[in-house]
């Protein structure tokens, strides 16, 4: 996923290599433009911290409250609502949660 901002330099090849090195050498396979934000990077950091008040590790549920559902809520919060696009296939696994949940016992 990719959220463009007014001060975004994510298309800079040097920046991409720097990010890959910081992530242990993992490389981005695909960028999906999902929206535009007018928040600064500092404001986005503050919003992430704010979201941390509501998204706790002990509440993690692979079918209902996972990293994809967090990303969808987060991006819908920071992006311009009229230009927001979140592909439905991103969370298709969680949509099967009600069916799959019966096959798994809670840990």
pLDDT at position 42 is 93
Phi, psi of 63 (to 5 degrees): -105, -20
Q: What is the pTM of this model?
A: 0.63
3-state class (DSSP) for residue 36: strand
Burial grade of 79 (CB within 10 A; 0-12, 13-18, 19 or more): buried
pLDDT at position 55 is 86
Mean pLDDT per 10-residue interval, the chain, length 107 residues: 49 67 70 84 92 88 82 87 77 72 66
Pairwise CA distance, residues 67 & 61, whole Å: 9
Pairwise CA distance, residues 105 & 69, whole Å: 21
Which residue ranges make up each domain of the chain? 2-103
pLDDT at position 12 is 67
């Amino acid at each position: 996923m990719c959220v463009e901002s007014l001060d975004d330099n994510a298309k800079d090849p040097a920046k991409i290599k720097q990010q890959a090195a910081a992530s242990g050498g993992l490389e981005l396979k695909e960028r999906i433009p999902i929206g535009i934000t007018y928040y600064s990077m500092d404001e986005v950091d503050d919003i992430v911290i704010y979201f941390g008040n509501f998204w706790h590790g002990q509440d993690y549920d692979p079918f209902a409250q996972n990293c994809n559902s967090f990303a969808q809520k987060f991006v819908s919060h920071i992006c311009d609502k009229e230009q927001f696009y979140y592909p439905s296939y991103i969370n298709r696994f969680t949509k099967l949660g009600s069916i799959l949940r019966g096959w798994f016992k809670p840990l």
